Homo-oligomer: A and B are copies of this chain.
């Protein structure tokens, strides 16, 4: 038993302050998701501001969607400051593989910052595994979609990536995999309609930072609990949809569901196996 209820309880009780260096597309949702789970958000992306803000927070999430030359130095500096202070750092490599700037920034951050969790989709995580060089660091020859058929291979890939990077790897999709070098949680919470809402991945990364920050020393279980919680809220919110509701009401209901979620409901609704 992995007591996801207790992990969530710790978020609610400690109310960690999370520094978000993130994109301007989904930032409002990330802030409200953090508040919904019981944490508090603060955003600062200017070099001069970000380092000090990181210092007053408990955890940091770096999300490279809409990154730019102005904010990249703040990402490195805040990451390094968080490391000095022993704060967990979550990286969301949005769009890694889609442009050189994104790929290089994600790889650079992985090199210079000690990351607690890297959360992305399978294609982003594969990009990071391949690196910018010509030799594959790990077996990244895995499909672009995690299914029941290729799950074992994807789990091996996730574990190898975790070993290589030292970070917990959270690959989210139809089946989510959250792995360190030894163990992988295969999670079957969630609903396909979540893909029709912009930023559910960004929200999950912020949520993961809150869970990991509130549960020092067990980033694997905390990240897995966050992934289950997000998916469970996607399920609860989907049940609430009427015939008139679409993706924007769904967005609202997912965050609402997190606000209402109890530790006991997470414990009961979490759907995973460990491989």
Interface of A toward B, CB cutoff 8 Å: 23-29, 31-32, 35-36, 41-46, 48-49, 52-53, 56, 65-70, 95, 98-102, 196-199, 240, 243-249, 251-253, 255-260
CB atoms of A248 and B32 under 8 A apart? yes
Return the contact of A245 from the options B65, B68, B256 (Cβ within 8 A).
Answer: B256
CB atoms of B43 and A25 under 8 A apart? yes
Residues of B near A247 (CB, < 8 A) are: 32, 35-36, 255-256, 259
Residues of B near A27 (CB, < 8 A) are: 24-25
Q: 11 A-B residue contacts at CB 8 Å?
A: A25-B27, A25-B31, A26-B31, A32-B248, A35-B247, A36-B246, A70-B70, A245-B256, A246-B259, A248-B256, A252-B252
| List of 5 A-B pairs having minimum Cβ-Cβ separation, nearest first | A246-B259, A246-B256, A31-B198, A52-B99, A248-B255
A172 to chain B, nearest CB (A): 17
**Which residue among A45, A247, A258 has the maximum number of chain B CB atoms within 10 Å of its CB?**
A247
Residue of B nearest to A53 (CB): B99
Complex: A32 Cα to B248 Cα, angstroms: 7
A22 to chain B, nearest CB (A): 9
Complex: A245 Cα to B32 Cα, angstroms: 13
CB atoms of B198 and A48 under 8 A apart? no
Complex: A36 Cα to B199 Cα, angstroms: 14
| 8 other A-B residue contacts (CB within 8 Å) besides A32-B197, A247-B259, A248-B259 | A35-B247, A44-B99, A48-B100, A49-B68, A52-B98, A52-B99, A243-B260, A244-B260
A198 to chain B, nearest CB (A): 4
CB atoms of A52 and B100 under 8 A apart? yes
CB atoms of A46 and B67 under 8 A apart? yes
CB atoms of B67 and A43 under 8 A apart? no
CB atoms of B36 and A98 under 8 A apart? no
Complex: A119 Cα to B92 Cα, angstroms: 34
**Which residue among A29, A36, A45, A49 has the maximum number of chain B CB atoms within 10 Å of its CB?**
A49
CB atoms of B246 and A260 under 8 A apart? yes
CB atoms of B257 and A246 under 8 A apart? yes
**Which residue among A98, A246, A253 has the maximum number of chain B CB atoms within 10 Å of its CB?**
A246
With A46-B101, A48-B69, A66-B43 known as contacts, the answer to whether A28 contacts B196 (CB < 8 A) is: no
